[in-house]
A = this chain, B = another copy of it.
Amino acid sequence: MDRQKRQLQILDHVDLTLKEAEFVSVVGPSGCGKSTLLNFIAGLTPVQSGAVEVFGAPPGGTEAPLGYVFQQHALLPWRNVLQNTVISLEVKGIAKAEREQRAREMLTVMGLDGFEDHFPREISGGMRQRVSLARTLVDDPRLILMDEPFGALDAQTKLLIQEMFLKYWEENRKSVLFITHDLAEAVALADRVLVMSSRPGRILAEYEVGIPRPRTLDQVRHMPRFTELHDAIWEDLRGEALKAMQGRA
């Protein structure tokens, strides 16, 4: 079936096709266009040249079952955890009882039961990012775009949330396009890692991770393949990252 394969073509000879239930990480120096890529796919930025297709349709279509997790949680500060989680269902016009039930279930999966009434400012950064995940996942998207979702968390919280998300994903495989600066994260979570060059963004290299699933982060760290991939990618990127840092902010 042609909806099994999603055709995504972007920007400066960036040619990328995501398979159903595949987890693809994208790494690249700051400012190389990673976020722009996601915005093209989500239909947030109009495509100037080239073609982007999401489930066979142009991006931004009203029915595209897309989820987007941002680096900053993007929670509405005046809504409590539950009200934030239901927003996509609310916008769709799903009845209150149903949407709240679904949201509560997803919050439980994320380990947030008991915090439904809290405002975003009252919970920790790690919890906020999990609410943001719950909000995206409750809508049951077929493709999840994630733009450095754990980039703003402290290292330990990040480890915890990576573990949780990895477990969830392995149980509910969905297509994921995951942007990160963290090479360890990219390798540990994904099936495939794309390395982008600095502006104008091109795909420099592509690695099949090849670590079997189900994984746990602790195991992965011990695998020679992990360190090997990490080194290889860092080899690709070191020069670009240095350039990116020395450019103006």
A178-192 interface with B by 8 A CB criterion: 180-185
Decide if A154 is an interface residue (CB 8 Å cutoff): yes
Say whether, besides A122-B249, A247-B124, A157 and B231 are in contact (CB < 8 Å): no
Interface centre among A155, A221, A222 (most CB of B within 10 A): A155
In contact, B159 and A245 (Cβ under 8 angstroms): no
Nearest-CB distance from A158 to chain B (Å)?
A: 8
Near B by CB (< 8 A), chain A positions 195-249 give 218, 221-222, 227, 230-231, 234, 237-238, 241-242, 244-249
> In the complex this chain forms, how many copies of it are found?
2
Rounded to whole angstroms, the CA-CA distance of A155 and B27 in the bound complex is 10
Contact of A241 among B127, B160, B182 (CB under 8 A): B160
Report if A154-B181 is in contact (Cβ < 8 Å); known contacts: A218-B231, A221-B227, A221-B230: yes
Contacts of A156 in B (CB 8 A): 27, 29-30, 181, 183, 237, 241, 244
A174–chain B nearest beta-carbon distance, Å: 24
- Decide if A122 touches B248 in the complex (CB within 8 Å): yes
CA distance A245 to B238 in the complex (A): 33
| Distance between Cα atoms of A96 and B207 in the complex (Å) | 53
Name A's interface SS.
helix
Q: Say yes or no: B227 contacts A222, CB within 8 Å.
A: yes
Asked if A123 and B231 make an inter-chain contact with CB atoms under 8 angstroms apart, the answer reads no
Name the CB-closest residue of B to A221. B227
Report the Cα distance A27→B157, complex, angstroms: 13
Contacts of A157 on B, CB cut-off 8 Å? 30, 181, 241, 245
Q: Across the interface, which residues of B come within 8 angstroms of A58, CB to CB?
A: none
Answer yes or no: A126 CB below 8 A from chain B CBs.
Answer: yes
- Considering only residues 142-167 of chain A, those with a C-beta below 8 Å from chain B are 148, 151, 154-157, 159-160
Told that A124-B248, A124-B249, A125-B249 touch, could you supply 7 new A-B pairs with CB distance under 8 A? Answer: A126-B245, A148-B154, A154-B181, A156-B181, A156-B244, A160-B238, A160-B242
